[in-house]
Amino acid sequence: MSATSVNLQALGAAAKAAARGLALASTEAKNRALEGISAGLLAQQEAILSANGRDCAAAKAGGLSEAMLDRLLLNPQRLAGMAADVCTVALLPDPVGEYIEMRTLPNGMQVGRVRVPLGVIAAIYESRPNVTVDIASLCLKSGNAVILRGGREALRSNAALASVVQEACRAAGLPEGAVQFVDDPDRARVAELLRMKESIDLMVPRGGAELIRYVAEQAAMPVVAGGIGVCHTYVDVGADQDKALRIVHNAKVRRPTICNALDTVLVHRGIAGSFLPRLAEEFARAGVEMRCDPEAYSFITAQGCGTGAQEGPPPTVLRAVEEDWGKEFLALVAAIKVVDSLDDALAHIQRYGSGHSEAIVTEDYSGAQRFLREVDAAAVYVNASTQFTDGGQFGLGAEVGISTQKMHARGPMGLREMTSYKWVVRGDGHVRPA
């Protein structure tokens, strides 16, 4: 075993040891640490921004794209936002120690379940340095030790942020080692972390589809494998067209680069002739490129929508290719398809959806019920934008990620989903009969 691998093993063992104490830490101590992080981010602003400045300069010199540079950049406003987010986590209820149930059995023995932390959570993420503070604060509040491994470009920024977090933990009396930061940018360390199932209980990848897929495939421990969303909105023949336009527009345009953004619009043939020209006009105004199946293409271009004959910028209407179905665009692009029926829509979603967020727009009661029941996805919607799939929006307060798995947690994962439970039995000399 190489010298480097010994270090990561030691770091994992230290996190594991700290996890035991952290699991027993009081809510008061954990909140004290969170408040300390929030204050520290502001007090250490100069050092953090200076480290970030060096990261940004190096990244720019290295030719990083403008979009990536923007993700990497910290400024006083962004730091203040991070500090405020940590305070929000401090205000959330502590999931640890919550009794999920407690019953008295017929024999007088009490049996229940109480929430406990998972242990050690490792996060592997890319260039956004705010993830360092975000994940660390959620892990601390839920009583989990954490191992942080950010992107190479953000190494100096992350180190500065991690030291604020570690200092706050120390001041609050939390166990040494509760927050571990991997300061080696070598990509081999990621592969090594993914094998450390003895010391890491849960792996949380945050970033692009490629990173998430790599981690999900390689990790020896459980992974919150979410983040990839191929999301459909089906506009039924019974839809209110005004609602449908509002919902489809919001699902695509509000933020096109997040995983709950719309990718494909399915439109019932019975409404396509009147709805699609209106949608094309809306999408054109918003700069959305449309990739249409032959029928949708006819409906849209027949009305001259594709020709620029109407007011506003001309829409980009293209013919869809097979790869456009089931594609996560993460951009102002939408695939559009005409379907025969609700069954047809359900079959398309089953084939091409990624099990993230799927919506129907309809005023038809039975159709809505069928859609909710039959679509197999983390979140299913009637008459609302899929962009609501988010821990904050669903009332979890914050989220560590969105799971598209079925085991453990599905959909947005908040503090509660970062816990396990144990069974607690209180007897008075009870023995089990033969």
Per CB under 8 A, residues contacting a second copy are 20, 23-24, 103, 105, 109, 111, 113, 116, 118-119, 201-202, 222, 240, 242-243, 246-247, 249-251, 254, 350, 368, 372-374, 376-385, 387-389, 393-395, 406-408, 410-412, 420-432, 434
Buried b / exposed e over 1-26, threshold 16 CB at 10 Å, is: eeeeeeebeebbebbbbbbebbbebe
Instruction: Write down the least CB distance from residue 363 to a second copy, Å.
Output: 10
What residues have CB less than 8 Å from 234, skipping those under 6 apart? 265, 266, 267, 268, 339, 342, 345, 349, 358, 359, 360, 361, 371
Instruction: Write down the least CB distance from residue 323 to a second copy, Å.
Output: 21
Instruction: Write down the least CB distance from residue 415 to a second copy, Å.
Output: 15
Nearer to a second copy, 275 or 381 (CB): 381
Nearer to a second copy, 176 or 374 (CB): 374
Largest CA distance in the chain: 86
Nearer to a second copy, 75 or 104 (CB): 104
Residues linked to residue 404 through DSSP beta bridges, in sequence order: none
Q: How far is CA 406 from the centre of its chain?
A: 15
Nearer to a second copy, 46 or 428 (CB): 428
Nearer to a second copy, 43 or 380 (CB): 380
Instruction: Write down the least CB distance from residue 271 to a second copy, Å.
Output: 16
Instruction: Write down the least CB distance from residue 244 to a second copy, Å.
Output: 9
SS (H, E, C) 260-298: CCEEEEEEEHHHHHHHHHHHHHHHHHHCCEEEECHHHHH
Question: What is the radius of gyration, based on Cα positions, of the chain?
Answer: 25
Instruction: Write down the least CB distance from residue 34 to a second copy, Å.
Output: 22
* Cα torsion 410, 416, 418, 424: sign: negative
Helical (H) or strand (E) element with 413:
strand 411-413
Nearer to a second copy, 316 or 350 (CB): 350
